[in-house]
Structure 1
């Protein structure tokens, strides 16, 4: 069958059928790749030393300030990307001190 006929038969896009056919010709079989996953962590991981140095130099630095400092060095990343960088390493940045315990009622 042609790629268009296959696309119509299985209810998929023609471009998808063409890509699967090309993959089958190139690799001998057409199988789906691993879905999802982090595609951009290598950008921040490549500059991990710079990020950690900035964090050590200024312990109270915010993600926005860190992003601005990296932009000055030519590294353009988003705040969410920086958050995921710290989350992967288990680094938390709580800015305010813990609330004192209440004697009358529990606090959150």
Structure 2
């Protein structure tokens, strides 16, 4: 935080260019530009939040449908992805479906 504040102060108070401030404090030019831009937009040099919680797409009604579908008969994960998109309008990837099916213990064993 201290370095961010000093770079922004050099640009805003001392009248340095962003390039000069970057050279003076030993940071990349793009970094100095981004810090000053952040300060101009938000009034703070605090870094933005990274990550965060994102609710799963396969929950609630979608999860209930998927459980019922897996109980109806044979399925493949790629087939379930296509069915979710075609029948439910839900765009999910293979990994999401695999994680759901694995967590729920829903499997279909092929038998001869």
> Does TM, normalized by the shorter one, top 0.5?
yes
Higher-Rg member (1/2): 2
Structure 1, unpaired ranges of 5+: 98-108
Unaligned runs of 5+ residues in structure 2 are: 1-15
- Pairwise CA RMSD of aligned residues? 3.3
Cα pair 1:55 1:61 within 8 Å, conserved: no
TM-score (norm 2): 0.55
Q: CA deviation at 1:67?
A: 0.6
State how 1:27-106 maps to structure 2 within 5 Å: 27-37=42-52, 41-42=54-55, 44=57, 48-59=60-71, 61-72=75-86, 73-84=88-99, 86=100, 91-93=103-105, 95=107
- Counterpart Cα distance in 1 of 2:29 and 2:77: 41
Instruction: After the TM superposition, list the runs of 4 or more consecutive aligned residues in structure 1 that deviate by more than 4 angstroms.
Output: none
Counterparts of 1:95 and 1:61, CA distance in 2: 9
Report how many residues are paired: 90
Secondary structure of the structure 2 residue equivalent to 1:66: helix
Distance 1:94 1:23, change over 3 A: same
Select the structure with the greater relative contact order (CA < 8 A; seq sep ≥ 6).
2
